[in-house]
Amino acid sequence: MPNHTPLLRLARPGDCPAIEKVVYEAFKNAPCASGSEALLAHRLRDSPAFVQELDFVAEIAGNVVGSILYTRSKVAGDSREWETLTFGPVSVLPAYQRRGIGSALIAHTLELARAMGFRAVVIFGHEKYYPRFGFESAGKYGITTPDGRNFPAFMALPLYEGALDGINGRLVHDPTFESIGKAESDTFNARFQIPDPDVVFPVASFFVTYVKPTIRNKNIIVGDFTYFSDVDFESRVTHHYDFYGDKLVIGKFCQIAAGVEFVMNGANHRMNAASTFPFYILEGWEQNAPSLSDLPLKGNTVVGNDVWIGRNAVILPGVHIGNGAIIGAHAVVGGNVDAYTIVAGNPARPIRKRFDDELIGLLQAFKWWDLPAPEIQKIIPILSDGNLEHVKRALKEKLAVIPSSPMR
């Protein structure tokens, strides 16, 4: 099973888009959200009050799923000021909430802030959540909001004994907290509201990962919007060794269920000798490694576009799967699969074609997966239409206006 334990680490400059997406998703449907949280996180990083040493993310399988950032603040009395910290927004992707990730970020960074010698943290937050970390009403310590008020959600935490003794004044925090309007927030948030193939987690309520932005292996090539119903897709590509040079190539808009495994050529043993046992890779045995020409290499594994691969299916080395195919759950696929064909079983065998040859030809010619996202948005009613005669007519009309179309 994939490891869903988060790694807590300092944020890097390249994390900013992912962090802002996490913040947006975390607060999108929150009842007390203002809608400005993502833009606030963006702007606070450019503020002189930003504390880079406390800018932390939670990462799972190389992907940012949570974040916390701090800014310097102060309590201003009549004749004296006391430096404090303020954190927020604290954000965790909805799919990962209630798993202790936010708590881990808060506890870890509070300990760091304490070690760095900061006096206290003053926040606006949920009065039933933050007391578990030691936060109490800020009024207990003589601290009010910038406009002189107090209420349960305004809280403070001294970071060492006596840190807030004798303090009396108003919180002064970064003016960025007060300077963001709805119109500019809406403009900023618009970037999160269109299909983006580089977003890692496109669904808020459960594990779904767009594969392409997670890939680090240069021999795995994946198209836009192909998703995996779990995290850490690369862990499902096994026996993939650089010296073989084989590639896994997957098209766009594929749907890959949890547990699917792509077995690459490194799993093959030599079959043209008396024994298949690989003495050469095991300690103590004296055998020269065979040349690649002596191994039963099957070439690249290639999956087309809009392919649905069912749970726990196994795709063996060198298989080519055509556009629109469906691979049944637990199938073991050792041979090529034609476009728009359903296969199942071990070994996987064709069950039937999904459509007649005319519709398959139209879909192959139209290649809807290669259209820009706004154009795909417009034709979703066609792609979702169960009346296949309507679909044929619509595709013929679309193809007729494409100058290079072979259907004209």
CATH number, position 286: 2.160.10.10
Is residue 202 in a domain?
no
Question: What is the model's pLDDT at position 2?
Answer: 47
Position 157 in a domain: yes
Q: Answer with the one of 335, 354, 373 that is the final residue of a domain.
A: 354
Per-residue pLDDT, 33: 81
Distance CA 204, CA 28 (A): 10
Q: Verify that 42 and 52 share a domain, yes or no.
A: yes
Identify the pLDDT of residue 404: 55
Among the residue ranges 117-126, 159-168, 229-238, 283-292, the one predicted with the least confidence is 283-292
Evaluate whether residue 34 is within a structural domain: yes
Concerning whether 240 is annotated as a catalytic residue, the answer is no
Domain that holds residue 292: 209-354
228 confidence band (pLDDT: 50, 70, 90):
very high
Q: What is the pTM of this model?
A: 0.66
Same domain? For 139 and 268 the reply is: no
How many domains, in total, are found in the chain?
3
| Residue that terminates a domain, selected from 191, 223, 251 | 191
pLDDT digits (tens, 9 = 90+) for 362-384: 999 999 999 998 899 999 999 99
Q: Which residue, 129, 156, 191, sits at the end of a domain?
A: 191
Q: Is the pLDDT of residue 408 over 70?
A: no
391 and 346 co-located in one domain = no
Asked if residue 265 is part of any domain, the answer here is: yes
Same domain, 112 and 21: yes
Average pLDDT over residues 34-39: 91
Residue 198 lies in a domain: no
Q: What is the mean pLDDT of residues 54-65?
A: 91
Q: Which residues pair with residue 341 across a beta bridge?
A: 353
Residue 149 and residue 139 share a domain: yes
Q: Please state the separation of Cα 284 from the chain's center in Å.
A: 44
Report the pLDDT value the prediction gives residue 198, as an integer from 0 to 100: 81
396 and 257 within one domain: no
Average of pLDDT values for 118-130? Answer: 94
pLDDT at 7 over 70: yes
Q: How does residue 1 score in pLDDT terms, banded at 50, 70 and 90? A: very low
Q: Say what the pLDDT of residue 407 is.
A: 45
What's the confidence (pLDDT) of residue 140?
95
Residue 204 lies inside a defined structural domain of this protein:
no
Whether 256 is covered by a domain: the verdict is yes
Cβ atoms of residues 60 and 7 within 8 Å: yes
Same structural domain, 125 and 172 = yes
Place 53 in a pLDDT band, splitting at 50, 70 and 90. very high
Reported as a pLDDT band with limits 50, 70 and 90, residue 95 is confident
Report the helix count and the strand count for the chain, using DSSP H and E. 7, 26
Please tell me the predicted confidence (pLDDT) of residue 205: 59
Q: Is a pLDDT exceeding 70 seen at residue 24? A: yes
| 312-345: burial string, b at 16+ Cβ within 10 Å, e else | ebbbbbbbebbbbbbbbeebbbbeebebbbbbbe
Whether 84 shows a pLDDT value over 80: the answer reads: yes
Regarding whether 180 and 47 lie in a shared domain, the answer is: yes
Assign residue 187 the CATH number of its domain.
3.40.630.30
On whether both 47 and 85 belong to a single domain, the answer is yes
Average pLDDT, the chain: 92
Same domain flag for 167 and 84: yes
Q: What is the structure's pLDDT at 102?
A: 95
**Each residue's pLDDT tens digit, 183-192:** 999 899 888 8
Residue 100: band (very low, low, confident or very high) from pLDDT cuts 50, 70, 90? very high
Chain-centroid distance of CA 305 in Å reads: 21
Please count the other Cβ atoms lying within 10 Å of the Cβ belonging to residue 61: 19
Measured distance CA(170)–CA(375) in Å, rounded: 53
Same domain, 94 and 131: yes
Given the residues 269, 320, 330, 390, select the one marked as catalytic. Answer: 269
Note whether residue 199 is domain-resident. no
Indicate whether 376 and 406 sit together in one domain. Answer: yes
**14 has pLDDT over 60:** yes
Residue 225 reports pLDDT greater than 70: yes
